[in-house]
Amino acid sequence: MLIAITHAGICHSDIHTVNGDWGPQPFPVVPGHEIVGTVAEVGPDVTTHRVGDRVGVGCMVNSCGHCANCRAGDEQYCLEGMVGTYAVTDRDGSSTQGGYSTHVVVDAGFVLRVPEGIDSASAAPLLCAGITTFSPLRRWGAGPGKKVALVVLGGLGHMAVKLAHALGAEVTVLSQSLKKQEDGLRLGADAYFATSDPDTFSELAGRFDLIVNTVSAVIDVDAYLSLLAVDGALVNVGAPAEPLSLNAMSLIGGRRTYAGSMIGGVAETQEMLDFCAAHGIGAEVEVIPADQVNEAYERVLASDVRYRFVIDTATLA
């Protein structure tokens, strides 16, 4: 399918890639895996979408399709390696290129329907930030009667707050300071604590059933594990360039789990989009022209965005 792109979100992963934080990259690279646009052309075997449909593309554009994980709907964990939307060698040997562009060609099996009720700019970050947080919230049972904490209120964290609240969980934000407290409560948090306050970790010890860590930097894993109730889980979705460490007793002492999660499969991503449309959920975005991408990167690194930059790709013309 050929997609005419209208909006492309800026993810911290784009910056990691451009900066080489995750190793050498196959430059030149076109980043962008939060893509919304309209179908411009379809191949003869495409039956899922038609020309003119509003669609989205997330963090992957291919997988083997036949391994156990792909057959189970977990294409993101393809045993032969899922194909990322950019900076990855596709199964035909070409290098994938992403959404900071006017058009993209994608296998129809990895194209999502963007439902009515979400504007395109607000929908774009759902294809990464939305599914990255929705998947662990679903997997670890966030819902009524569950106490969920989210670290921190940023591009991923603000989506996690909205989604956890809509799922019915009691939501707490754990952030370095209280400067975004008003936003957090407005987005659906029930409580907001500053992790720079040493009393926070003693006050909240053993409280949460689930903590989703969205930080792409090193954290004190043991300190956050201490906030979990028995059988609680700390799930990492942020991807720091540096290794993390923990003391095994932090797990053993409360039958706790430390886990990771990476986006979601195609079906789960569609479920997330439909859920967001049904609950009126979109990302909080600042739409920018393409010539402000470098400035946007600097502002992301300075935590100076509330809460996701989205490129208006019409400005590329």
Query: What are the beta bridge partners of residue 156?
Result: none
Q: Is the pLDDT of residue 265 over 80?
A: yes
Alpha-carbon dihedral 174, 217, 61, 99, rounded to 10 degrees: 90
As a whole-number percent, the residues of the chain with pLDDT over 70 amount to 100
pLDDT of residue 239: 82
pLDDT of residue 216: 83
pLDDT bracket for residue 36 (50, 70, 90)? very high
Q: Is the pLDDT of residue 296 over 80?
A: yes
Residue range 107-138, pLDDT digits in tens = 999 999 999 999 999 999 999 999 999 999 99
What is the pTM assigned to this prediction? 0.96
Q: Is the pLDDT of residue 104 over 90?
A: yes
pLDDT of residue 252: 97
pLDDT of residue 306: 93
pLDDT of residue 217: 87
Q: What is the mean pLDDT of residues 41-47?
A: 97
pLDDT bracket for residue 240 (50, 70, 90)? confident
pLDDT of residue 34: 98
